[in-house]
Structure 1
Amino acid sequence: KFERGEGKALLRRTFGGLLPEGVLTRKKRGFEVPLAALFAGPLRSLVDDLTTPDHVAQAGLSPAAVKQVIASSRTGRNAPGQATVHALLVYLSWWRRTVR
């Protein structure tokens, strides 16, 4: 909220004495979901389950291409981008629930 042209008015009023000054004065920024950590950790078995060659082919995608995207996302280089992996997983999950 803005108050007299000043952003974060509610935050400053509510938590002014509890938060470091740097938090109160820095620009707003969005929350980034740690997709790489999720896909490599707690969601790894889901990724592996949804990206089996048979399932990927049934969904009309190239198993080799999907395997390459997943492999490169696990190297830490983030070549295809975690958003691409996320989109693949959403599509493959939808395919499994709806079409198959």
Structure 2
Amino acid sequence: MKRTILTVIALAALSITAVQAQQLQSIPVSPAPMPGSPGTATPTPYPQISPAPLPKVGPGSSGPPLVPIEMPSPPTKDQPVPGIEPSPPKPKSPGG
């Protein structure tokens, strides 16, 4: 009795999958490309903006010359660093 029920269920499942497979075959494999689908160029709604040209460096360039900037040198060993408060010296522990 159990074998008969299992056989009927298996045959029903196979027939359903066969019908679904036939329906899937009716769908075209490669649909016509639609606008905006992957791999196609999408038109831009805004005009393309080209970057501004870089200023020319040299004697023939227009505009005022740049002012030289003084590069600070690193502080010496005994010179305090600005913006940092010096910490008081720690007392040494005896016998340490």
Structures share a fold, TM > 0.5?
Answer: no
TM-score, normalised relative to structure 2: 0.17
TM-score, normalised relative to structure 1: 0.17
Q: Which protein has the bigger helix share?
A: 1
Q: Tell me which of the two structures has the higher relative contact order, counting C-alpha pairs closer than 8 angstroms and 6 or more residues apart.
A: 1
